[in-house]
Amino acid sequence: MTKIFHPNRLRVVLAEKQIKNRWLAEQLGKSEMTISRWSTNKTQPSLDQLIEIAKLLDVKLDDLLEPYNTK
């Protein structure tokens, strides 16, 4: 099954863990605007960035992805 990044999952995980975009941006060496763009699906993080985000947020990579129907 193919899975893709889902920006709402990032927002939910950040909210559940009470983590601000600023903190995540600082940890990743990115701007808050970049995190905001990921959260609103204007751009998407690379796979390497997603792996790092999952590590920083102490979640499985799957927690940031959703199934994608290719049919």
pLDDT per residue over 23-42, tens digit each? 999 999 999 999 999 988 89
Alpha carbons within 13 angstroms on the beta-carbon side of residue 59 total 16
- Indicate the domain borders of the chain: 3-67
Write down the pTM of the prediction: 0.85
CATH 3.40.50.720, domain 3-67, yes or no: no
State the Cα–Cα distance between residues 27 and 67, nearest whole angstrom.
27
Please report the pLDDT score of residue 5 as a whole number: 77
Give me the residues paired with residue 44 across strands.
none
Reference 34, options 67, 69, 65, 7; nearest CA is 7
The CA-atom distances, in angstroms, between 44 and each of 11, 38, 64, 71 are: 13, 5, 12, 22
